[in-house]
Structure 1
Amino acid sequence: MQPVFFALLSRMQNVHRWGKSNPTRAENVAEHSFQVALFAHALGVIRNRIFTDEPAVDENQLAVMALFHDAPEVLTEDVNSGVKYSAPRMLALCREMEAIASTLMLGTIPQPLRSSYEPLIGHESEGESAQFVKAADLLSAYTKALSELRAGNTEFEGTERKVLAALHPYIERMPEVAWFMANFVPAFHMTIDDLVEAAFEPRTV
């Protein structure tokens, strides 16, 4: 088998999200995965530095998991969440398709390396780490909706409400998510001029 794994992953930039929502700015799976990795890492750092009464997590491992969380979409394309979760049978079919794509992708990795990637590709994993990545995934979708609304795109009004509703259980049971929402998300309402001005504000150390 030709080891085409990384060449395939490089095509994530060609898989576009939000196709049914008419975004003002297209978003691809590669940049989405990067943002989810940033957010997952941040949630881990918040856990380890602020909520120190909770067990520590490996923030770097969270980032790696997030980088690969949508890797099978290189073969399956992005499936609209409203369609994917519209019926149990539809969800089962989508997950079956993702599992097949994951197996095909893992088959393109040389055998000595494969075991390092198997936990990262296409597993509907459970446990705390998976919850951090899922929360980061929703935060990425939520901030995308905010950026579209800031641009006047009313197509994302429903998306903002739907994603916020999906985030609520994570906000309630994960203090890291609530802290991120309270401290980092408000800035996503700001213009670039406001962001730059805020970056250069004098502050005490």
Structure 2
Amino acid sequence: MQPVFFALMSRMQNVHRWGKSNPTRAENVAEHSFQVAMFAHALGEIRNQVFTGQPKVDANHLAVVAMFHDSAEVLTEDVNSGIKYSDKRMLALCREMEAIAAHMLVTTLPSPLQSTYKGLIEHEDDPEAARFVKAADLLSAYTKALSELRAGNMEFEGTERKVLAALSPYTDTMPEVAWFMEHCVPAFQMTIDDLVDAALVGGEEE
């Protein structure tokens, strides 16, 4: 069989998120995965550089794990989280479907590469990385809700509340998440003009 993994992964840009929420700007799984990878890497660096009393983590590894965290959705499509978590049976079915899809994806790789990607795609036991990636995933959803609310889309009022509640266990137990929320998240409510002005000021200070 011809290896089709990387061609399939390139189709993640065609898998759309927030289908039931009428976002003002569509978001696809590829760009979401990039943002989660960026946030996971940042959380790792915050752990290593700010909270130096904590055990160090491999921020680059966190970024790669995050990059593939939704890879199964190229086969399953995105399942609305409200539906996915509405019932234990539904959650179990979704996770089984994702596990099957992840295994299918691994088999589309050239055989010498399968062992490398298996742990990334099939989410093998790595609880520390999983915790960082889940926090980054929620931060991505939260900043999306903030940007939609800033655009006047009240559809995301409930999303903002629910995601903030889901983030609470992470902000309580992971100081790097609380730090990111305090220092980095407020900028997501700024206009592009304000962001550019802030960048110019930062450049002048150098």
Q: What's the TM-score bracket when you normalise by the shorter of the two chains? A: over 0.9
Q: Bigger CA drift: 179-188 or 193-202?
A: 193-202
Distance 1:62 1:176 in 2: 14
Return the structure number with greater helix share.
2
Are 1:70 and 1:122, in contact at CA under 8 Å, matched by a contact in 2?
no
The structure-2 alpha-carbon separation of the partners of 1:161 and 1:125, relative to structure 1 and needing over 3 Å to count, comes to: farther
1:125 is displaced (CA, Å) by 4.1
The structure-2 alpha-carbon separation of the partners of 1:141 and 1:124, relative to structure 1 and needing over 3 Å to count, comes to: farther
Distance 1:86 1:97 in 2: 16
Distance 2:3 2:132 in 1: 31
* Identity of matched residues, %: 75
Asked whether 1:34 is paired with 2:38, we answer no
Distance 2:146 2:177 in 1: 17
Where does residue 185 of structure 1 map in the other structure? 185
Where does residue 143 of structure 1 map in the other structure? 143
Asked whether 1:103 is paired with 2:103, we answer yes
Distance 1:160 1:125 in 2: 30
1:123 is displaced (CA, Å) by 1.9
Where does residue 116 of structure 1 map in the other structure? 116
Are 1:71 and 1:122, in contact at CA under 8 Å, matched by a contact in 2?
no
Where does residue 166 of structure 1 map in the other structure? 166
Distance 2:191 2:122 in 1: 36
RMSD: 1.1
Where does residue 53 of structure 1 map in the other structure? 53
Where does residue 70 of structure 2 map in the other structure? 70
1:85 is displaced (CA, Å) by 0.6
1:147 aligned partner, one-letter code: S
Distance 1:128 1:104 in 2: 25
> Secondary structure at 2:201's aligned position in 1?
coil
The structure-2 alpha-carbon separation of the partners of 1:186 and 1:11, relative to structure 1 and needing over 3 Å to count, comes to: same
1:122 is displaced (CA, Å) by 3.1
1:40 aligned partner, one-letter code: A
> Secondary structure at 1:2's aligned position in 2?
coil
Distance 2:122 2:78 in 1: 14
Distance 1:15 1:124 in 2: 24
1:75 aligned partner, one-letter code: L
Where does residue 3 of structure 1 map in the other structure? 3
Distance 2:124 2:61 in 1: 16
Asked whether 1:13 is paired with 2:13, we answer yes
- Structure 2 segments unaligned to the other structure (5+ residues): none
2:90 aligned partner, one-letter code: M
Q: Matches of residues 75-90 of structure 1 in structure 2 within 5 Å?
A: 75-90=75-90
List 4+ stretches of structure 1 deviating above 6 A. Answer: none
